[in-house]
Amino acid sequence: MRHSLREFGAEQTRQWFAQRGLETKTEYDGRVFPVTDRSESVMALLQAEMERMGTWMMVGAQLKGIYPDLGRYRLEFVQGPD
């Protein structure tokens, strides 16, 4: 995710969140937080946006390969230890 976030400037990132209903604030030292002061607000918005876009998140798995498949891509995962 870091790479994706680096593609946008700080103001673009704040605007992206604001357009989706998450307002932010800047602390005296320049750090930016949601006005709710809850990281869960950011996670909930990102999860809602992923669902809206038809994507999903897999936790605890390692990406084994990415394969072209009829103009799309198929991802193969190896499940991590439980």
Look at residue 61 in the predicted model and tell me its pLDDT: 85
How much is the pTM? 0.66
More confident: 10 or 71: 71
Q: Count CA within 13 A, CB hemisphere, residue 46.
A: 11
Checking if the pLDDT of 81 tops 70, the result is no
Q: Is the dihedral of CA 16, 35, 5, 65 positive or negative?
A: negative
Q: Can you read off the two tokens belonging to residue 49?
A: 């946006």
Q: Can you read off the two tokens belonging to residue 20?
A: 């989706």
